[in-house]
Amino acid sequence: MIDFDRLTIEDVSRVFERRRALSHVSLTCKTGEIFGLLGPNGAGKSTLLAIVATLLAPSAGAVCYGDWTAASAGPALRARIGVLGHDLYLYPELTARENLTFFGKLYSVPAVDERVNDALERAGLASRADEPIAGFSRGMRQRLALERALLHDPRLLLLDEPFTGLDDASTHALIERLRGLGSAGRMILLATHDLDIAEGVIDRMAVLRNGKLLEGGGATTGSLRARYRSLVHGS
């Protein structure tokens, strides 16, 4: 198993045919940190997350996980990365327990039954563990998907708009879970355009617009919304 204590994105660009989705983006993130990727829709946040997740190769530049790259680490690197995107990667016809057990076995998680029971408790779904998730609310499925992304104990957690469709109670629960993960030494890269939520959860931020980095690595001091407006609308 490999491990790392920092993520370094170095001069990364990504081109799709004639469209440049990312242009010379550089930033760093370290363990225990919740790093916010902010920007309007189409800014390049999801593309950057896909590159960091090793699901997409950069057209130029490099991503380093400590002293490793995706090429040098190989498949072992993915065992240290958890992803929660727009698609929750859950099977609606399976129960909550079956979904987690399937992914646990996919990652060869040790003591998988015990790990799944603990995850269901953390998600607040122990009492409905054996029901098909097709009948679950968006918030319930989101909590389950987060535990699915954490089941194999990743060092790096990538979240793409995780608060979409959540009510206030589910949003609060997710924020508290993320804070706990950061305190436990996880490295969290969170892409969102919800500034009100971001202001209360992220430690540092990068702002993207049209694939370009307007600010990278700044601490979230002062009014996040005012800084964001100045960068995105004033540039």
Domains of the chain: 6-234 (3.40.50.300)
3-state secondary structure the chain: CCCCCEEEEEEEEEEECCEEEEEEEEEEEECCCEEEEECCCCCCHHHHHHHHCCCCCCCEEEEEECCEEHHHHHHHHHHHEEEECCCCCCCCCCEHHHHHHHHHHHCCCCCHHHHHHHHHHHCCCHHHCCCEHHHCCHHHHHHHHHHHHHCCCCCEEEEECCCCCCCHHHHHHHHHHHHHHHHCCCEEEEEECCHHHHHCCCCEEEEEECCEEEEEEEECCCCHHHHHHHHHHHC
* pLDDT in the model for residue 226: 80
Question: pTM of this prediction?
Answer: 0.92
Q: 69-126: per-residue pLDDT in tens? A: 999 999 899 999 999 998 899 999 999 999 999 999 999 999 999 999 999 999 999 9
* pLDDT in the model for residue 169: 86
Residue stretches of the chain with pLDDT short of 50 = none
